[in-house]
């Protein structure tokens, strides 16, 4: 820490010496810049003191936020002259909101209300052009870009207030729709005050997927690539399933923060079939407990067909994800849980449970599929009689009623959109993201996801766990529920199935998803550079790396610089002032660092910062004669060598340049 503090002080002294307006000068966009030799500075006013920028950088914000920190919040009523002016103080909104998040629990109710009022004002002025009114449509559009839907239940109060205001102002000539209204500050406060905490998180990109727009663009690209797949056959053993159009293809995403995106046939109802198995398993875990449930059903992959007549060495089904295990789970729900319920009440109980998992979105029942399944259930009845022979069922179980209950669970009907919320509830530890209701206990979610990971994809489960590395469950109707723990849930639906009974397009989508993003359970989040991490803010990794590189140069730590180079970093990267590590090392007089950057990293000594200074000029200004001589020798070319700008891509993994034998530094051979 002491070494880093000294480096900060040295950088501060260097910044003051390099600043063209001189020490202590202050200028603002409203006042002319101070004259220097040769006239006014061509780049306008200087940046704020370096210490403030370093504080912002150490908070690991993006480079765009660092630039935004250079201006302050305008007072209420001040006119914002341009879009740039609005964006320039956006960081102040972020700072205010972060402070509220950190301290809100410690404040009194009156102090909390005052803090939220300040945040409401900040958001208002961020979208206001004249400081007096706001176009509410522009605000709502920005809110939807973050992934929040217009009908999000958590924004219900805001929507209701918006329509109340619209009804009150319906006679005004400039009011054509609720979203076309122009509102003043008191009315805007009235709209957002009930939902300001969620709105502030959305505006500050504090959701799990900060850049949701670009993430959706990537999901859409994968969707269209998979749509062209023509393999597989629609399940035909149930007549109603065989009627599905093989061209149906839908993808729906719901994050743990309730960000939503869908594309394709996401509103077409389909029966859940085997996707009901992890859901009923979670329900029985909550109601009976893990110990009781696993007296009747195991946790091991069977290694056999999902409907095979086989039990484990304890004479019980291998796991709840195969037909035998799911039938036992239904018998436990019917016999041991809520014994006071009759058949109709128990069916309603499970249906309502599915609906709560989906945030009260569409969950229905397809009676035609139920009847068809019951007619074509010889194998499942054989499993039931086989397990009854081996005394697998709890006492007083009625096999016929258990089988009907199992078929009813499989015939539950939903949409791609609703099932993505179910998956997100599992990803969120049992709390529904859209209703914020605790539906399933955390321990039950853990057990459900563990078995989905090892047993959820029929006989393809092992390969899926190896290639995709995420919990998933598929059904013969073509549906697939994919869970990215602590991030999101995804539902994929396409009726054509492969030889294992899984959706062909669904499997392809999952493979391409983990190839693009580091969602695989065992992807290294720190060192994986060839995959995107949508959980990080834009430029976050790049900004941190640049700061670390410049600190290494300022402290003369050649070992750290070697690590940066070996990790594939471009050693010619610049900070927001256009300064490279070579500028900093030269200004500090670190001869070994300068030589390493020139000789081995091919950093060009002719790069200029925002003030037009080169590393040589920095070395001369701070009277580091040996460093200046070294840089000058590389510029002039030692032993006939030449120095030029690095070619595109050099410095980020190119081989170390060698001086002598006709090699060049910063150029090509």
Cα distances (Å, whole numbers) of residue 248 to 229, 236, 503, 551: 12, 16, 11, 55
How many angstroms separate the CA atoms of 417 and 431, rounded?
17
Catalytic residue among 125, 166, 281, 406: 406
* Catalytic residue selected from 71, 128, 252, 274: 274
Look at strands 182-184 and 412-414 and give their pairing. unpaired
**Burial per residue of 515-536, b for 16 or more beta-carbon CB atoms within 10 angstroms, e otherwise:** ebbbbbeeeeeeeeeeeeebbb
In the residue annotation, 274 being an active-site residue is answered as yes
Clarify whether 458 is annotated catalytic: yes
Is 476 assigned a catalytic role?
A: yes
Catalytic residue among 56, 234, 272, 277: 277
Nearest to 458 by CA among 304, 289, 352: 304
Q: In what order do the strands lie in the sheet with 412-414?
A: 270-271, 412-414, 363-365
From the candidates 372, 458, 460, 604, give the one annotated as an active-site residue. 458
Q: How many CB atoms lie within 10 A of CB 606?
A: 14
Q: Are 525 and 554 contacting, i.e. CB atoms less than 8 angstroms apart?
A: no
CB 231 within 8 A of CB 238: no
End-to-end CA distance of the chain: 42
- Integer Cα distance of 638 and 620 in angstroms: 20
Alpha-carbon span 386 to 324, nearest angstrom: 10
Q: Which residue among the candidates 476, 504, 558, 665 is catalytic per the annotation?
A: 476
Q: Which residues are within 8 A (CB) of 193 and not within 5 positions of it... i.e. 6 or more apart?
A: 116, 120
Listed in order, strand segments (DSSP E) in 58-184 are 133-135, 182-184
- What's the CA dihedral at 375, 381, 382, 387 to 10 degrees? 170
User: Which residues are annotated as catalytic?
Assistant: 274, 277, 406, 458, 476
């Amino acid at each position: 820490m002491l070494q880093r503090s000294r480096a900060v002080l040295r950088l501060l002294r260097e910044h003051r010496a390099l600043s063209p307006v001189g020490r202590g000068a202050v200028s603002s966009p409203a006042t002319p810049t101070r004259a220097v030799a040769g006239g006014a500075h061509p780049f306008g006013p200087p940046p704020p003191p370096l210490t403030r920028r370093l504080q912002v950088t150490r908070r690991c914000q993006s480079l765009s936020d660092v630039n935004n920190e250079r201006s302050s919040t305008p007072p209420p009523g001040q006119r914002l002259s341009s879009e740039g002016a609005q964006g320039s103080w956006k960081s102040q909104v972020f700072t205010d909101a972060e402070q509220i998040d950190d301290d809100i629990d410690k404040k009194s109710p009156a102090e909390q209300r005052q803090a939220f009022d300040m945040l409401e004002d900040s958001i208002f002025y961020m979208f206001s052009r004249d400081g007096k009114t706001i176009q509410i449509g522009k605000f709502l559009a920005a809110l939807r870009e973050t992934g929040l839907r217009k009908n999000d239940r958590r924004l219900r109060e805001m929507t209701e207030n918006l329509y109340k205001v619209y009804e009150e102002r319906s006679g005004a000539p400039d009011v054509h729709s609720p979203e076309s209204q122009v509102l003043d500050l008191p009315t805007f406060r009235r709209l957002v005050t009930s939902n300001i905490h969620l709105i502030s998180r959305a505006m500050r990109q504090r959701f799990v997927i900060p850049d949701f727009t670009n993430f959706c663009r990537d999901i859409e690209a994968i969707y269209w690539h998979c749509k062209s797949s023509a393999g597989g056959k629609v399940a035909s053993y149930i007549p109603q399933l065989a009627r599905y159009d093989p061209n149906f293809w839908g993808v729906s995403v719901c994050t743990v923060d309730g960000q939503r995106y869908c594309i394709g046939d996401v509103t077409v109802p389909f029966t859940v079939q085997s996707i009901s198995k992890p859901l009923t398993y979670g329900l029985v875990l909550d109601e009976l407990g893990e110990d009781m449930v696993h007296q009747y059903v195991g946790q091991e992959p069977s290694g056999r067909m999902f409907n095979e007549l086989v039990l484990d060495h304890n004479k019980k089904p291998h796991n709840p994800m195969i037909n035998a295990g799911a039938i036992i789970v239904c018998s436990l729900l019917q016999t041991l849980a809520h014994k006071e319920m009759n058949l109709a009440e128990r069916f309603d109980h499970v249906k309502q449970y599915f609906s709560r998992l989906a945030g009260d979105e569409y969950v229905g029942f397809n009676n035609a599929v139920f009847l068809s399944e019951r007619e074509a259930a010889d194998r499942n009845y054989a499993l039931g009689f086989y397990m009854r022979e081996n005394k697998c069922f709890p006492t007083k179980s009625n096999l016929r009623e258990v089988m009907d209950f199992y078929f009813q669970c499989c015939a539950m009907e939903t949409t791609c959109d609703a099932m993505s919320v179910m998956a997100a509830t599992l990803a969120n530890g049992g709390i529904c993201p859209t209703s914020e209701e605790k539906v399933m206990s955390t321990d039950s979610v853990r057990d459900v996801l563990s078995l989905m990971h090892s047993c959820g994809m029929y006989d393809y489960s092992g390969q899926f766990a190896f290639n995709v590395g995420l919990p998933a469950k598929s059904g013969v109707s073509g549906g697939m529920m994919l869970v990215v723990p602590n991030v999101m849930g995804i539902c994929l639906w396409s009726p054509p199935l492969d030889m294992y009974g899984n959706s062909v397009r669904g499997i392809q989508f999952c493979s391409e998803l983990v190839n693009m993003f580091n969602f695989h359970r065992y992807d290294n989040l720190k060192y994986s550079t060839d995959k995107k991490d949508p959980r990080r803010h834009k430029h976050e990794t790049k900004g941190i790396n640049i700061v670390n590189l410049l600190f290494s140069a300022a402290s003369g730590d050649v070992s750290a610089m070697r690590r940066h180079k070996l990790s594939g970093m471009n050693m010619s990267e610049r900070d927001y002032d256009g300064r490279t590590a070579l500028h900093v090392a030269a200004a500090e007089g670190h001869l070994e660092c300068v030589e390493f950057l020139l000789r081995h990293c091919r950093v060009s000594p002719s790069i200029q910062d925002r003030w037009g200074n080169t590393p040589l000029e920095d070395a001369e200004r701070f009277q580091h004669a040996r460093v200046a001589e070294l840089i000058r020798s590389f510029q002039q070319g030692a032993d006939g060598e030449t120095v030029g700008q690095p070619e595109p891509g050099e410095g980020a993994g190119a081989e170390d340049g060698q001086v002598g034998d006709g090699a060049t530094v910063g150029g090509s051979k």
